[in-house]
Amino acid sequence: MSETPSPRLRPTNPSGVLYMGIDLGTSRTSVAASNGVRESVASYVGYPKDVVAKKALKKDVLFGDEALGNRLALDFYRPLAGGVIQHSDGDGSNPDAKRFLKATQDLIRHAISLARPKQDELIYAVVGCPAQCSLRNKSSIVEAVRPVVDSVMIVSEPFSVAYGLDLLTDCLVIDIGAGTTDLCRMHGTMPTADDQVTTPFAGDHVDQTLLELLKKKCVGAAISIQMVKDLKEKFSFVGEKRDPVAVDLPVNGKPTRFEVAAELREACRSIVPSMVDAIHQLIASFDPDFQSRLKNHVLLGGGGSQMGGLREMLEVEMRERLGEGRVVRVDEPTYGGANGALKIAHDMPPEFWEKVS
């Protein structure tokens, strides 16, 4: 966890505070605010390429699905990859790093605006990031958030999910996003680096694997990564049995039907081994007196948690490798991280926020 002051100008009414939890995700950015507003937007940003595009779109910047749908007329950005701002591992001098930072800042500004803050409110924000996010990556996130809030904290995403559900003891949280899968074991204190694991095998990995499999299966078909993503989000599963999955893909411009259930299942299963290895690592290295509690209290969250049969497959794998295991899926995968981040923001004493401001 880290915090920083913000250079944003102080509002005229310092008594009003809007607490906000932000899940800054590779695929979606979600916000939950203390005024009761919860909103989510796809993590896409686009700027009109030229005067014709600007005249047609009538906007200087587009976000989310609107940006995605008009991407051919835009300088189009998906500013986050692997749960962090793209190119944020460098020294900041790379022009691409500056462009992606600006796109991230605009995305955050837009996400915060969706919460409808009042002009005279202080904004205290908690932002979730991957469990093993580097210090440089965290600093880049802070730099992106700082201009539009009065104070900001950075916490690990699985920790915020657990905190939001009051699961602070003897719980193993798995948060499957687009860029990373993050795991964190909770045992009544702030988790340390040893309590957390991040793997790159997540939603984007499934997309890329599925794309390669479909290119081999659907000879001659034109396939985009967005087609693949839409297919995964609609039909993803890892189980043995499944109804046929038929998809129409253009071959020389003509829609042609292909059956792709086997390829879809193989792609979705590609993230399971690394997840099981991480579960095994965190449980086997835990205090032996409490390992059984941890095995039977695994919480599955994030967008990837909705894959059909994943919860059951993880339980089978845990029983084979660890003797037992019980996995429960979170009720609100879209807002689990934002809800927890908001709760953390609420629970910080006022003097903490005043100090870092």
pLDDT digits (tens, 9 = 90+) for 298-337: 999 999 999 999 999 999 999 999 999 999 999 888 899 9
Can you list the domains of the chain with their CATH numbers?
Answer: 2-164+335-356 (3.30.420.40), 169-201+270-329 (3.30.420.40), 203-268 (3.30.420.40)
31-37: long-range contacts at Cβ-Cβ below 8 A with a sequence spacing of 24 or more? 31/111, 31/112, 31/114, 31/115, 31/338, 32/335, 32/338, 32/339, 32/341, 32/342, 33/115, 33/117, 33/342, 34/342, 34/345, 34/346, 35/115, 35/116, 35/117, 37/114, 37/115, 37/116
pTM of the model: 0.89
Predicted local distance difference test score (pLDDT) of residue 8: 42
Predicted local distance difference test score (pLDDT) of residue 94: 75
Distance CA 173, CA 197 (A): 10
Find the distance separating the first CA and the last CA of the chain, reported in whole Å.
16
**What is the β-pairing status of strands 181-187 and 196-199?**
antiparallel
Average pLDDT by stretches of 10, the chain with 357 residues: 41 68 93 95 97 96 97 95 80 79 93 91 91 81 88 91 93 94 93 93 97 96 95 92 88 95 96 97 96 96 93 96 95 92 92 72
User: pLDDT for 202-221, tens place per residue?
Assistant: 999 999 999 999 999 999 99
